[in-house]
Structure 1
Amino acid sequence: MRSDEIAGDERSGAVMASTTSRVRARDDDRADVCGLIDAALADGQLSSDEHAARTAAAMKAEYFGELDKLTWDLQIPGAFADTPVVRGGVRRRTRWWIPVGVLLVAALLGMGAGCVGSAADKTSGPPLPDLTTGAGQAYFIDRYRAEFGDTVADDLTIYPGYALFHRSTDNPLKSQYYHFDGDFDEFGSESARKPTTPTVDFGTVNLPVLARLLAGAVDSVKVPNGRISHMSLALPSGSEPDAAPLVSIYVRNEAQDSGSMEIAFDGEVLEVSPLRK
């Protein structure tokens, strides 16, 4: 490519970046970025602390410019290549990472926009319950236990229509990334896993109490017309391995007002962060 063509590309890219940086992000866009961040953790680009910090920032982001800052230094899996958060920013050609394995898995999962599949895309089988409700949690825990024989994961993030998690393989030094939207599917290839990686047994959560707290989460954080965008069950970022795990619940509405709650696995409410803009 000639230098003048490269310069033209850079100028057009800069214009695109400036026009999209103040475009409002949707919940799906934030979920796309969380998928990118999850993939970066799975293949060793990010540490667990970096992953937690970027995920938290992504779910609070209001504009594409904020989301782009969280992914600008990451190699982009091919399965995410056509998502708005990737197409909307400036991407150098050398940063594309499109392994055949990832493309094949994406095709098999029917996830043309990365890890943002939903139950609505299913064409067969019973409808998937909202996984951010008590009934949805009970359904997921039962399905997980039937699939793996336990309820242990390195991390777990749950959206209304799907869940994302890592768990060790038969080899404790390897981790596999999974996507659940009624079926459990492996996403990408196995990645290295530290033997000291802490795990969470989310099956020990006090489900009756959690169900009541989930039902009242929108009122608790005082977000008008809000809904639970996602929830995570994990150890606090940077905590000691013997620390107690938390359930973090995030609520958002169409006006991008948001709030959150943190709950201990026994059902004790530890923190309520009401409406913030």
Structure 2
Amino acid sequence: MTSRRTTRARDIDRSNTCTLLDAGYGEGQLDFEEHKSRTAAAMSARTLGELESLVTDLQLPAALTDTLPEPEPASPRRLPLKAGIAAAAVAVAAVALVQLNRDGPDPAPAAAAPLVPAPAAPAPAPPDAYSDVAPVVITPIDTLTAGGIEQFRDKFRKKFGDTLVYDVNFFDDYVSITRMMPGQPDREQDYSFRGGFQADTATSHSGDEPPFDLASVDLNALAGHLLGAAESLHVPGGTISHIRMEVEDGDPQVTVFVGNDATGASGHMYLRPNGEIAAVYPYSPTG
């Protein structure tokens, strides 16, 4: 192997020589002490000749050592030898990771290439402010049943703080209410209820009847009357059209109205809040 022996060595030349020495150590051509001393000599060498003398006795493929290259710009751990020699040294250095000399400790492993994190997935697009928003669904209350009236009564108490009305009419899809205006005994306020309370007109209160207390109604007793209302009132195929609660002539009463729209038959009954029947007005084909 020939070279320009008196040419001053660069740091990159010293580093590349150490690469070849690592390869020789990995293949068992150098023992631990030889590798250590030659590496120290390579790092302090002043000329290319001194560096070449440290690796000329190592086995490298003959076909890669025929000529010497011109010195090249610095690149990590390359000697100013033929490019093929540098390539062979890199290959041999790789073998050094698995074929280690048994006479000394393992050389330090090559530093692993840093991991490049995968690009973050794009954030999902925000939902459309209108089309993707689930609608708020309010389950209707069937206030022609005792259970529905109980739910209404609970909501009424929560809304107004009491269960007092002048009158209330329960229909299949809404409720109409008239109650006193707080602090104004001579005024009354109408409300409608369809899942929530909506104030309607306010008028002067006429009459001396006291308010009806919704809490006084025995809903269990009422439930039985509602189930058999069509039979009790002799309205075949009839259904409850509405229920009214009020104080009439000083007596609180619950009126249940039943009708059949197809035949025109209808009837009604008066109940006391405790469920007692006060009066029955059944349908009669003869009038």
TM-score with structure 1 length normalisation?
Answer: 0.51
Give the Cα separation in 2 of the matches to 1:221 and 1:210.
15
Does the C-alpha gap of structure 1 residues 219 and 198 become closer, same or farther in structure 2, counting only changes over 3 Å?
Answer: same
Match of 1:152 among 155, 164, 171: 164
* Residue 230, structure 1, aligned to residue 242, structure 2: yes
The one-letter code matched in structure 2 to 1:198 is P
Q: Larger Cα Rg: Structure 1 or Structure 2?
A: 2
Q: Is the 8 A contact 2:212 2:246 kept in 1?
A: yes
Match of 1:178 among 191, 196, 200: 191
SS in 2 for 1:203: helix
* Residue 161, structure 1, aligned to residue 180, structure 2: no
Q: Is the 8 A contact 1:173 1:195 kept in 2?
A: no
Match of 1:246 among 249, 253, 260: 253
* Residue 276, structure 1, aligned to residue 280, structure 2: no
Structure 1 or 2: more helix by fraction: 1
Q: Is the 8 A contact 1:258 1:274 kept in 2?
A: yes
Does the C-alpha gap of structure 1 residues 274 and 124 become closer, same or farther in structure 2, counting only changes over 3 Å?
Answer: farther
The one-letter code matched in structure 2 to 1:145 is R
Q: Is the 8 A contact 1:165 1:177 kept in 2?
A: yes
2:273: which partner in 1? Answer: 265
Identity, % of aligned pairs?
A: 31
Give the Cα separation in 1 of the matches to 2:231 and 2:181.
40
Structure 2 stretches lacking a partner, 5+ long: 1-134
Match of 2:152 among 98, 117, 140: 140
Question: How far does the alpha carbon of each residue in 1:134-157 deviate from its partner, in whole angstroms, 9 at most, with x for none?
Answer: 111111111111111111011111
The one-letter code matched in structure 1 to 2:159 is E
Give the Cα separation in 2 of the matches to 1:196 and 1:257.
34
Structure 2 matches for 1:59-78, cutoff 5 A? Answer: none
The one-letter code matched in structure 1 to 2:205 is R
Structure 2 matches for 1:5-20, cutoff 5 A? Answer: none
- 4+ runs deviating over 6 angstroms: none
Give the Cα separation in 2 of the matches to 1:259 and 1:197.
26
Q: Is the 8 A contact 2:266 2:283 kept in 1?
A: yes
Q: CA RMSD in A?
A: 1.7
How many residues were matched structurally?
Answer: 149
Of structures 1 and 2, the one with the larger relative CO (CA 8 A, separation 6+) is 1
Give the Cα separation in 1 of the matches to 2:267 and 2:204.
34
Give the Cα separation in 1 of the matches to 2:178 and 2:231.
31
Give the Cα separation in 2 of the matches to 1:161 and 1:167.
20
Give the Cα separation in 2 of the matches to 1:158 and 1:250.
10
After TM superposition, give the deviation of residue 194 of structure 1 in Å.
Answer: 4.8
Give the Cα separation in 1 of the matches to 2:172 and 2:203.
27
SS in 2 for 1:165: strand
After TM superposition, give the deviation of residue 231 of structure 1 in Å.
Answer: 1.2
Structure 1 stretches lacking a partner, 5+ long: 1-122
After TM superposition, give the deviation of residue 195 of structure 1 in Å.
Answer: 8.3
